Each structure stands twice: as structure tokens, then as C-alpha cells.
Chain A
């Protein structure tokens, strides 16, 4: 699959996640085993109204979305993969008023499990805001209804 096809799939997938629409989370770029998504800064995700700093929970949602979606960039067929666990380390507070990006990679795929790593950052990718490792369970393409699979893969450029 080329990057354009992957980007179409991940964008359509994120588009079906209602909470991501609510927060404005969007795919930025996709390639094999790697995905970048963006969380725009809004008042709705503020944790501390005194400082305007984003709540850790919104960062967790961003990283869960990136890690759960990057599996699409690693599998030949679209499968929904439920999250088994996530471990998030918060390295520094995000700068208020600016979007946060999350770059997720798949570093190992087995018959049952997908292992991911993800880093959240703002303007400078080397200034990590949060780091996350996750594991996702493979339940097979058949576990996802055909109509939904076609919704995600149907728009693939031939």
C-alpha cells in the first residue's frame, strides 16, 4: 500500500471516532508502520484554568488514537484492534495555545498482538511532552462488519 492509500484509510477511520471529531483530532501523515496525528488546542481540553495547560487525559486520548490507528499502517487488511494496555509517561507540560502532535510507530506484529510506541510533541519533535507504549489485540478482520471495513478501505485509490 502506498502512503496515500494509508493516509486515506487512517483519515476515514479517525473520522468515524466521534470523540476524535469532538476534540478535532486529525491525521497529519501516514506511511508504513508510522502515523502522525494532531490535537488542536481548545478551551475544552484545559486541565488547569489558571495556566491554560492541557489536561493529561486529552494527551492520553491523542496517544491512544495515534497508537490504535497506526495498526492500520502495519496490517495488510483493515482490522479493528482493541487496546490491551497503555503506559503513558508525561515528560513536560504542553505549551498552551498550540497544537500537540503524536507520532506512533508499530515495532512488532505477531499473530495475536501489536506493539506500539508513541511520542507527543509540539513545535520541536525532540522536545517530548509525553511518551507512550501500547499493546493491541488482533481479533481478525472478520470480527469487524464488512460494511465498516468497506467504509475504511472503499475509498482506496486504485
Chain B
């Protein structure tokens, strides 16, 4: 599998936002990022098109999953010495609270990086980091 020219450039420059913007699906969700030194927090701004349950209203669970999966992939790509494209193997997602119609944030932790497989943990929250709306665990194969 090949990396696009934009992805390579973004990786070389260590530019999270450029890397996100190189992925059409991430643009569809409206995903962004904020870096604080070595740390990065991913952001999913409030967006009506991301809603599922119209009663609360709440963000579609699949969008929360997609946002977290995308976060894991971006942070994994950024952690590599040389540009590599991770392929997702599995994704396990626990929904802890309803994701309300407001900004959502996520951060990732690379639990284990082997030669071929990486394990990433993702946490997503809204109002307070101490009240996560979802946690996830993903495995990736590194090509």
C-alpha cells in the first residue's frame, strides 16, 4: 500500500493537521488537532451532519468510532521513524456516555509497538477529560 504525496510531506513536516486533511473521510467528519509540545489532542468539532439519535441529540456512535480510529492511525503514523501506513486489524470500542451535540476530543496512547503489529488505546471525552464518553483499543499491521 502506498502513501500519497501529501501524506509523506505532512509526515516529514510532523504536521498533524496536514496529515488529517490528506484523508477525505477525516475531512468529512470535520476532524482537527491541537499540539502541545510533544502531545496532541484530536478534535471533532460540533457538526450537525455527525448526529445519530435525534432525541438527545447525540453524535452517531459510528462517528465517534471513526474519529477514534482515525486518531489512533494518525498518532501511530506520527510515531514512526520512517513513513509507514498502518492497516487496521481490529477495533474494540466501549461507549461510556452519550456523545452530545458538542465538541469531542481524543488522545491516544501507543501501548505496544512490535515489528509488525501495534496496539493503541484511545480515550474520547467532551466536557471533562475525567468523564470519557468512549474508550477504544485498536491493533494495526504496519506495512
Contacts and interface: CB of A to CB of B under 8 A. Distances in A.
Interface of A: 16-20, 22, 43-51, 54-58, 60-65, 68, 80, 82-90, 93, 144-145, 148
Q: Is the interface of B mostly helix, strand, loop or mixed?
A: mixed
B24 interface: yes
A43 B28 CA distance: 9
Contact of A148 (B26, B55, B66): B55
Interface in B45-89: 48-55, 59-63, 65-67, 69-70, 85, 87-89
Contact of B54 (A16, A48, A50, A62): A16
Interface size range on B against A: 35 or more
A82 B67 contact: no
Contacts, number: 137
A145 B53 CA distance: 12
Contacts of B65: 57, 60-61, 64, 86, 88
Interface in B34-50: 48-50
Interface stretch (B93-101, B106-114, B123-131): B93-101
A17 B4 contact: no
Contacts of B49: 18-19, 22
Given A45-B24, A51-B1, A93-B87, 19 more contacts: A18-B49, A20-B52, A20-B60, A44-B28, A45-B25, A47-B25, A55-B23, A56-B66, A58-B62, A60-B66, A61-B60, A65-B60, A80-B55, A82-B98, A84-B94, A86-B92, A87-B90, A87-B93, A88-B91
